[in-house]
Amino acid sequence: MTSDLRLLTVDAHDPVALATFWAGVLGREAVPAVSGGRSLVPTRENEFRIHFQPSDEPRRGRNQMHFDLTSASPEQQQETVARALELGGSHLDVGQRPEEGHVVLADPEGNEFCVLPAGNRFTEGCGTIGALSCGGTRAVGLFWSAALGWPLVWDQDEETAIQSPLGGTKISWGGPPVEPKLGKGRFHLDLVPRADTGLEAEVARLTGLGASRADIGQGDVGWVVMADPDGNEFCVLPPGFASPPAQA
């Protein structure tokens, strides 16, 4: 009994503009969503949908999650960086060293992401989004492995990573020290229980794994907002859910 990762939802002051940026960077199509935001259509069967939803919340600091984009060659890395800058991205200094080889950028709303150099073994074969890199403890990596039924593909020195048995983007956690949480996360995961599992039964299972219910002012909605063991919000949507919700 597990949930499927249906969406990665991103809070945006201008969801249409931000979706347009990421559609251009990733080569995906941006389509309207019921919330008034935009969603990026996956280009591969094992990719998750990325949904940009309207939010007035200010950006309070560095995100707990960011994309690591892959490169097949040095030329492709340069092309990805140039395309992102042309679409409205900017270079970002987070203390990276030149010898590390990756380029750190920010999207038009300041969300960090990295363009990795060619030959990165960790993200080899993972697709354009090689990894969703997160700040987090080993405990939270173990939680998400159990929550999604994705095996651990890295577990060393408090760092963990998981990947769907079908392949695709890895989700990784860098271990301590974990930066303090500054308000609601701008990125969060949306899960949908498998067809043979009810919403409350799945919430109970996730609670048993270490999650808890969370109140972020969502009111009376048809899904459940929860927090993982590190306090990061995520949503459990009703079985059979097909469209992004109006808020998270």
Residue from 105, 99, 110 nearest 81 by CA = 105
Does any domain span residue 241? Answer: no
Does any domain span residue 246? Answer: no
- Under the banding of pLDDT at 50, 70 and 90, the label for residue 35 is low
pLDDT of residue 242: 63
Give the contacts of 58 (CB within 8 A, at least 6 positions apart): none
Q: Tens digits of per-residue pLDDT, 162-205? A: 999 999 999 999 999 988 888 889 999 999 998 778 899 999 99
Give the integer Cα–Cα distance in Å for 120 and 127: 12
Q: Tens digits of per-residue pLDDT, 219-245? A: 788 899 999 999 999 999 998 776 555
Does any domain span residue 89? Answer: yes
- What number is the average pLDDT over the span 142-162? 97
- Eight-state DSSP code of residue 232: -
Q: Tens digits of per-residue pLDDT, 64-96? A: 999 999 999 999 999 999 999 999 999 998 877
Joined together, the tokens standing for residue 48 give: 């998750």
Q: Which of 40-49, 53-62, 113-122, 180-189 has the lowest mean pLDDT?
A: 40-49
Does any domain span residue 95? Answer: yes
Does any domain span residue 245? Answer: no
Give the integer Cα–Cα distance in Å for 233 and 248: 9
Give the integer Cα–Cα distance in Å for 248 and 128: 26
Task: Give the angle 73-74-78 at the CA atoms, nearest 5°.
Answer: 115
Cβ(114)–Cβ(100) under 8 Å? no
Does any domain span residue 247? Answer: no
Does any domain span residue 244? Answer: no
Q: Give the Å distances, CA to CA, from 60 to 175, 182, 186, 227.
A: 21, 6, 10, 19
**Which domain does 194 fall in, by range?**
3-236
Percent of the chain with pLDDT over 70: 96
Q: Domains in the chain: how many in total?
A: 1
**For all residues of the chain together, what is the average pLDDT?**
91
Does any domain span residue 248? Answer: no
CATH number at residue 165: 3.10.180.10
Question: Which secondary-structure segment (H or E) carries 201?
Answer: helix 199-209
pLDDT of residue 247: 46
Say which residue the tokens 């395309």 belong to: 83
Give the contacts of 17 (CB within 8 A, at least 6 positions apart): 88, 108
